[in-house]
């Protein structure tokens, strides 16, 4: 990255501020739609940080996959689960929140001191490579060939698994479907599912 030092510092500060602020918004806001859109902001800021780290291909992949696929998938899930439910209050919830905050801050302090105190040995000032795409392609097809192929199998498994898990089971009645007009044209008859009993209402034991 041949930018001046000051430009890099200022853009790093801006991107870091955007990222931390949006991430706090994702975690702390009440409305989950705002959280989903702020998650897109986090991903875009992270892709800017990748550009500062000389990773142009990963930056483009970050925007394409995270913002274009994962974030849209999460928005779809939010709108499919469009239930405005007020969560029933759980007693002594602030203890859990306080404990979680304590654990997070403690972990941050621990890892932060580790990062600051470790003397990282930066090797001699070799210029970072500019042809990242070529080197990445050589890695993918020579010494990382097996994980690359395994990743394709994993994606296929995730695809099939997501379809199987999220599918509704429809009742297909083939004898009465020829001459009759179905009363609800945009709905398929769905097989009645036996709902699992909610824990608080009708639990048989305990």
Partner 1 sequence: MQLNLFLLLAVALFCIGIYGLITSRNAVRVLMSIELMLNAVNINLLAFSNYLDGQSIRGQVFAVFIITVAAAEAAVGLAIILSIYRNRDTVDMEKFNVLKW
Residues 31-50 touching partner 1, rule: CB under 8 A, are 32, 35-36, 39, 42-43, 46, 49-50
Select the residue interacting with partner 1 from 91, 127, 179, 185 (CB under 8 A): 127
**Residues within window 79-108 making contact with partner 1, judged by CB under 8 A:** 80-81, 83, 85, 87-88, 90, 96-97, 100-101, 103-105, 107-108
Question: Out of 92, 176, 179, 193, which residue is the one contacting partner 1 (CB under 8 A)?
Answer: 193
User: Cα–Cα distance between 203 and 193 in angstroms, integer?
Assistant: 18
**Spacing of C-alpha 127 from chain mean position:** 33
Q: Which residue, 7 or 105, has its beta carbon nearer to partner 1?
A: 105
State the nearest-atom distance from the C-beta of 114 to partner 1, in Å.
Answer: 9
Report how far apart, in Å, the C-alpha atoms of 17 and of each of 45, 46, 104, 106 are: 9, 11, 19, 21
**Nearer of residues 81 and 178 to partner 1, judged by Cβ:** 81
Which range binds partner 1 by CB under 8 A, 29-37, 172-180, 181-189? Answer: 29-37
Please, which of residues 139-178 interact with partner 1 by CB under 8 A?
139-140, 144, 147, 151, 154-155, 157-159, 161-163, 165-166, 168
Buried b (16+ CB within 10 A) or exposed e, 84-100: eeeeeeeeeeeeeeeee
Q: Is 179 in the site for partner 1 (CB under 8 A)?
A: no
**What are the two backbone dihedrals, phi and then psi, of residue 170, each rounded to the nearest 5 degrees?**
-100, 150
Q: Are 39 and 71 in contact (CB under 8 A)?
A: yes
Q: Which two tokens stand for residue 171?
A: 């009742």
Size of the site for partner 1 (CB under 8 A): 88
The closest of 52, 48, 76 to 62, measured between CA atoms, is 48
Q: Between residues 100 and 188, which has the closer beta carbon with respect to partner 1? A: 100
69 lies in the binding site for partner 1 (CB under 8 A)? yes
H-type alpha helices, 81-183: 93-117, 132-141, 145-166
């Amino acid at each position: 990255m041949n930018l001046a030092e000051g430009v890099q510092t200022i853009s790093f500060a801006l991107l870091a501020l955007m990222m931390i602020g949006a991430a706090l918004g994702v975690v702390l806001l009440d409305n989950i739609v705002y959280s989903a859109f702020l998650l897109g902001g986090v991903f875009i800021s992270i892709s800017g940080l990748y550009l500062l780290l000389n990773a142009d291909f990963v930056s483009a992949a970050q925007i394409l996959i995270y913002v274009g696929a994962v974030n849209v998938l999460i928005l779809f899930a939010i709108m499919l689960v469009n239930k405005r439910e007020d969560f029933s209050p759980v007693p002594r919830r602030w203890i859990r929140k306080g404990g979680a905050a304590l654990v997070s801050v403690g972990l941050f302090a621990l890892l932060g001191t580790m990062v600051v105190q470790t003397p990282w040995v930066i090797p001699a000032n070799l210029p970072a490579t500019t042809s990242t795409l070529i080197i990445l392609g050589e890695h993918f097809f020579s010494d990382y060939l097996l994980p690359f192929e395994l990743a394709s199998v994993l994606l296929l498994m995730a695809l099939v698994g997501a379809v199987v898990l999220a599918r509704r089971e429809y009742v297909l009645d083939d004898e009465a479907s020829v001459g009759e007009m179905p009363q609800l044209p945009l709905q398929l008859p769905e097989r009645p599912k036996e709902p699992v009993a909610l824990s608080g209402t009708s639990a048989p034991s305990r």
